[in-house]
Structure 1
Amino acid sequence: MQDDSLVEYGARRIIITLTAILCALLEIVDTTIVNVALPEMKGNLGSTLSEVGWVITAYAIGNVIIVPMTSWLSQQFGRRNYFAASIIIFTIFSFLCGNATNIWELVGFRFMQGLGGGALLVTSQTIITESYPVAKRSMAQAIYGLGVIIGPTLGPPLGGYIVDNYSWPFIFYINIPIGIIATILTIQFVKSPKFSEKRKAIDVDWVGIALLAITVGSLQYILEKGQEDDWFDSKTIILFTSTAILGFVLFLWRELTFRYPIVELRVLKNTNLRIGTIMSFVLGFGLYGSTFIVPLYTQTILGWTALESGALMIPAALTTAVMMPIIGKLLTAGVKQQYLVAGGLLLFFVYSFWGYNILTPDTGKDSFFWMLIVRGMGLGMLFIPITSLALSTLKGQEIGQGAAFSGMMRQLGGSFGIAAITTLLANKNASYGADLAAKLDSNSLMVQQRVQGITNSFISKGMTPDVALKSAYQSLQYSVAKQAAVLSYMDIFLYLGILFLICIPFILFVKERKSKEKIDVGDMMH
């Protein structure tokens, strides 16, 4: 229900809109800005690839835990106070992230930064929605929606520029001045709605909060560390698996029986919401997974700079921006959401299969251009239709609860996607490396000729014969490792493509919209 006392006009409304969008972008850009800095962090902090993957994962876990609790926290503390506190937490931990001296310190600070950041996304949307009269809301939400989709893609080029020209801590330091300005503007301009009641401490679902954190954290640990620790040969992995299963079962029981659950699970009885929630998970998997894998491949295999890797993503982001209003018009004109989602999934399959086909140890920049444009088009066709589909048969209060679910599942999909990709990459790399090394028989005439050719080339550059021979073997070993890595990346692209293809038939079986009422775009986009 619209609270007219929150509607703003003139300069005040512009300031509130800009503050909210700035905060939403801060949170979203920070999800992916670290992607291009991972190789530098890895070297600088002396960590492994899977350890440095936790820098992204910890932030996502923080987001996922806080998102379902946001509306309750706003009610408890007042929306303006909660929003300002979230910006302050985000800003302080951005500073601490830049000052981290080892990988686990950075991971801990990123988790806390994620707790502050998750609230920014959900609350900024609500603030924008309530600052506009109903007739003008769709315009404000369109601006917000562009930020939500383009933010993850703007992270890598911005991160790349900072890493190339300064050093990785500055990707966190740039949040500080923006955070300070946003805090001042929030305290000065944002109003809090009058909530009917505050919950007493005894009514707070503390057990639900703890079980949610334990379940998500344990699951994430299993995904990240399973491959390193030989999965169920490790007692730690078995312990965390048991914790995750038990935590999940207890969480379900708690949320279905407690009077004021932190997450309202009953709303999932709605079929469209269930399918939309699963699709949001797949969207997060694809969106964050592909934003993670492309910069990683171009930097580690092709030797590009962080800025080159990031800039590669810009045309795709612009394509998504162009697609958003077109998709909005198609939805308004009555095109079914499931057809648009199916089209988006098909485009994502084309993008993944294209990636599978063009990857080599020296793929050129031009080869990526049209492939990433297809990804941009696919994203444009997925975001609003999936959210709209999930919420299309919900009414009243259920809409807010459903929106929280799809937002949470998108974030979870992203963190699972990144964890699954890093695990699979390490796995595939090891098996392909072993296979290729086994085929390099030192008694084979072809191998001997190759070694001799490389040795002669090194001797001609002034090396002594013994050093040249040693360097030739090292060079051969390096090219085997590189080839194994390329084959691993190819597999990732293929698996992602198959995942999207499998989802298409499920989407086409979704029920028709039950009611003719139009859902406010403000309620749809989360």
Structure 2
Amino acid sequence: MQDSLVEYGARRVIITITAILCALLEIVDTTIVNVALNEMKGNLGATLSEVGWVITAYAIGNVIIVPMTSWLSQQFGRRNYFAASIIIFTVFSFLCGNATNIWELVFFRLMQGIGGGALLVTSQTIITESYPIEKRSMAQAIYGLGVIIGPTLGPPLGGYIVDNYSWPFIFYINIPIGIVATLLTLQFVRSPKYADKKSASEVDWLGIFLLAITVGSLQYILEKGHEDDWFESKVITTLALTSFFGLIFFIWRELTCEHPIVELRVLKNGNLRIGTVMSFILGFGLYGSTFIVPLYTQSVLGWTALQSGALMIPAALTTAFMMPIIAKLINRGVKQQLLVALGFFIFFIYSFWGYKILTPDTGKDAFFWMLIMRGAGLGLLFIPITSLSLSTLKGPQIGQGAAFTGMMRQLGGSFGVAAITTFISNKSMFYRSDLVSKLDSNSLMVQQRLASLKAGFMAKGMTPDQALSAAYKVLDFSVSKQSAVLSYMDVFLYLGLIFLFCIPFILLVKERKGGETIDLSEAMH
């Protein structure tokens, strides 16, 4: 890295705040709409599967742009590209709030995702380059705060806005922040000198096209597969083949092209390879658990969006508290492998704890310490995985490596959410039929339960027929609820086992010669 990019004093503080604001804008917007989907559905006259596209389109835009950020920064200069991304994000946030029908909103969300995807990787690069080498781990900690806290802030913030205002305001709140961030970027952020700007004729257009259809198709499959019953759907099957062949052609193109849009050769680095896999698992755990806890508390326990979002706040604060401590430990020479292994183990404890406490009426207090464990686990994972991935890279490779780990974290999250939804749905059906088969209408207990329910409804003035029908409905509801709880328990158990299974692999990661664990001092272009 050129030393000229290291900043000091107030200037560094301003650059750091700008970059974190942008990272937060991007990530909060990934989860903030989840709680507003019902409002949008009613307001725009859309079906449930149509309104699901509001989330899907944003994720597709994100995943397509992330691998290209390193290259785009070189083309246009980092400051210009970063400022343009914030402007695109802000303008389309305004348009999202003004959308008059569902497909307008979906298109604006896709464009907002394309603007937003760049914010994440570029803000990481800017923060890292603004700090001198000895403070790099602290820089990763500051950036990590935004990435970990963002998904947690989304649902309670969205819940509050939807309860007190209306859904367009979840997009409008981005506008003042976006304007301030743009002005600060243009004023304070500097670009490194790039030697190899490409002319339009040298641009890898075929690579861009192959990347867009490969990752776009894959993201669609992950977001919509469950709804469309996976490979029973022609669209999903076609896109799966498109994604598979697109990936093969994309890899061939990038390895043979003189000016590739994504530099795949950087994956020859062993630490980066392991880091990208670990980033995928981190995304799986981070977004999977951010998705499953609110889903369980809202669908099974009947909480509001605001209540279930607020439940996640202590865990996010724990992560925030852990980050600087972890950064100091890395600076003092504690091996990142050990921290990641410990993080995975704590995540296993959190998941196993979840498996043990879930019931059809788990109280709020039961979640508190379990979620604190989740916060501690995430704190131990984020910085060590990021710095391990980039620790043995030099020069422009660092920016390319950051783009890979960023993309894999996003894809891990999408895989996690897709796998969890499908798993819960299949397991619920399995448990439901299992429980129903055990409900023998000749059993004395079942008859007594029905009789007492029927008597209760008749006491409320129902006829015997109505009362019996209502009693069967109550029984059916409790079977459904019980089968849902059992399937959530399984999700927690299997998530925990995945993390436990990763521990031996992370301990095999190589150290750099001379005991250096991290050197992000090279140009992070």
Q: For structure 1, which segment, 148-157 or 320-329, has the greater mean C-alpha deviation from structure 2 after superposition? A: 148-157
For residues 99-114 of structure 1, the aligned pairs below 5 Å read: 99-100=98-99, 104-114=103-113
Q: Structure 1 residues 453, 51: CA separation in 2 closer, same or farther (over 3 Å shift)?
A: farther
Look up the match of 2:271.
272
Deviation per CA, 1:410-457: give whole Å up to 9, x if none: 111111111222222222233333333343344444333222211211
8 Å CA contact 1:391, 1:524 repeated in 2:
no
Q: For structure 1, which segment, 286-295 or 127-136, has the greater mean C-alpha deviation from structure 2 after superposition? A: 127-136
SS at match of 1:34: helix
For residues 74-473 of structure 1, the aligned pairs below 5 Å read: 74-100=73-99, 104-131=103-130, 140-473=139-472
- What letter matches 1:329 in structure 2? K
- What letter matches 2:394 in structure 1? K
Q: For structure 1, which segment, 372-381 or 107-116, has the greater mean C-alpha deviation from structure 2 after superposition? A: 107-116
Deviation per CA, 1:141-165: give whole Å up to 9, x if none: 5433322222222222222322332
- Taking the aligned partners of 1:310 and 1:495, their CA distance within structure 2 comes to 24
Equivalent pairs counted in the alignment come to 525
SS at match of 1:33: helix
Q: Structure 1 residues 37, 368: CA separation in 2 closer, same or farther (over 3 Å shift)?
A: farther
CA drift at 1:38: 4.4
8 Å CA contact 1:35, 1:292 repeated in 2:
no
Q: Structure 1 residues 525, 205: CA separation in 2 closer, same or farther (over 3 Å shift)?
A: closer
Q: For structure 1, which segment, 36-45 or 116-125, has the greater mean C-alpha deviation from structure 2 after superposition? A: 36-45
Look up the match of 1:474.
473
8 Å CA contact 2:125, 2:524 repeated in 1:
no
- Taking the aligned partners of 2:328 and 2:287, their CA distance within structure 1 comes to 26
CA drift at 1:199: 0.8
CA drift at 1:492: 1.4
Which runs of 5 or more structure 2 residues have no equivalent in the other structure?
none
8 Å CA contact 2:129, 2:524 repeated in 1:
no
- Taking the aligned partners of 2:65 and 2:302, their CA distance within structure 1 comes to 37
- What letter matches 1:383 in structure 2? F
Q: Structure 1 residues 422, 440: CA separation in 2 closer, same or farther (over 3 Å shift)?
A: same
CA drift at 1:131: 4.4
8 Å CA contact 2:96, 2:168 repeated in 1:
yes
8 Å CA contact 1:393, 1:515 repeated in 2:
no
CA drift at 1:233: 3.6
Which runs of 5 or more structure 1 residues have no equivalent in the other structure?
none
Deviation per CA, 1:456-492: give whole Å up to 9, x if none: 1122223333332222222222222222221221121
- Taking the aligned partners of 2:60 and 2:211, their CA distance within structure 1 comes to 10
Q: Structure 1 residues 500, 38: CA separation in 2 closer, same or farther (over 3 Å shift)?
A: farther
Q: For structure 1, which segment, 398-407 or 360-369, has the greater mean C-alpha deviation from structure 2 after superposition? A: 398-407
Q: Structure 1 residues 39, 405: CA separation in 2 closer, same or farther (over 3 Å shift)?
A: same
CA drift at 1:512: 2.5
8 Å CA contact 1:36, 1:295 repeated in 2:
no
CA drift at 1:97: 2.9
Could you state the TM-score of these two structures normalised by the residue count of structure 1?
0.92
Q: Structure 1 residues 461, 521: CA separation in 2 closer, same or farther (over 3 Å shift)?
A: farther
- Taking the aligned partners of 2:265 and 2:401, their CA distance within structure 1 comes to 10
Q: For structure 1, which segment, 151-160 or 51-60, has the greater mean C-alpha deviation from structure 2 after superposition? A: 51-60
- What letter matches 1:115 in structure 2? I
SS at match of 2:513: coil
- Taking the aligned partners of 2:28 and 2:521, their CA distance within structure 1 comes to 22
CA drift at 1:133: 5.6
Look up the match of 2:483.
484
- What letter matches 2:217 in structure 1? S
Q: For structure 1, which segment, 265-274 or 32-41, has the greater mean C-alpha deviation from structure 2 after superposition? A: 32-41
CA drift at 1:370: 0.6
Q: Structure 1 residues 518, 105: CA separation in 2 closer, same or farther (over 3 Å shift)?
A: same
- What letter matches 2:421 in structure 1? T
For residues 54-65 of structure 1, the aligned pairs below 5 Å read: 54-65=53-64
8 Å CA contact 1:224, 1:420 repeated in 2:
no
SS at match of 1:199: coil
Q: Structure 1 residues 125, 272: CA separation in 2 closer, same or farther (over 3 Å shift)?
A: closer
- What letter matches 1:62 in structure 2? G
- Taking the aligned partners of 1:46 and 1:443, their CA distance within structure 2 comes to 47
Q: Structure 1 residues 239, 204: CA separation in 2 closer, same or farther (over 3 Å shift)?
A: same
Q: For structure 1, which segment, 209-218 or 314-323, has the greater mean C-alpha deviation from structure 2 after superposition? A: 209-218
Look up the match of 2:20.
21
- Taking the aligned partners of 2:289 and 2:213, their CA distance within structure 1 comes to 27
8 Å CA contact 1:320, 1:377 repeated in 2:
yes
SS at match of 2:2: coil
Look up the match of 1:2.
2
8 Å CA contact 2:391, 2:520 repeated in 1:
no
Q: Structure 1 residues 397, 302: CA separation in 2 closer, same or farther (over 3 Å shift)?
A: same
- Taking the aligned partners of 1:246 and 1:19, their CA distance within structure 2 comes to 40
Aligned residues: CA RMSD: 2.7
8 Å CA contact 2:28, 2:150 repeated in 1:
yes
Deviation per CA, 1:18-48: give whole Å up to 9, x if none: 2222112111222222334445556666767
- Taking the aligned partners of 1:269 and 1:97, their CA distance within structure 2 comes to 41
Q: Structure 1 residues 39, 301: CA separation in 2 closer, same or farther (over 3 Å shift)?
A: farther
- Taking the aligned partners of 1:228 and 1:135, their CA distance within structure 2 comes to 49
Q: Structure 1 residues 165, 478: CA separation in 2 closer, same or farther (over 3 Å shift)?
A: same
- Taking the aligned partners of 2:157 and 2:289, their CA distance within structure 1 comes to 17
- Taking the aligned partners of 2:44 and 2:294, their CA distance within structure 1 comes to 20
- Taking the aligned partners of 1:46 and 1:354, their CA distance within structure 2 comes to 41
8 Å CA contact 2:395, 2:523 repeated in 1:
no
CA drift at 1:266: 1.1
- What letter matches 1:32 in structure 2? T
- What letter matches 1:269 in structure 2? K
CA drift at 1:524: 11
Q: For structure 1, which segment, 464-473 or 488-497, has the greater mean C-alpha deviation from structure 2 after superposition? A: 464-473
- What letter matches 2:69 in structure 1? T
Deviation per CA, 1:223-273: give whole Å up to 9, x if none: 344344443343333222211110111011011111111111111112221
CA drift at 1:525: 11
Q: Structure 1 residues 106, 65: CA separation in 2 closer, same or farther (over 3 Å shift)?
A: same
- Taking the aligned partners of 2:180 and 2:428, their CA distance within structure 1 comes to 46
8 Å CA contact 1:224, 1:423 repeated in 2:
no
Deviation per CA, 1:171-221: give whole Å up to 9, x if none: 222112211222233334434444334211121122112212211222233
Q: For structure 1, which segment, 152-161 or 54-63, has the greater mean C-alpha deviation from structure 2 after superposition? A: 54-63
Deviation per CA, 1:366-399: give whole Å up to 9, x if none: 0100100110110011111111222233233322
8 Å CA contact 1:28, 1:152 repeated in 2:
yes
CA drift at 1:54: 4.4
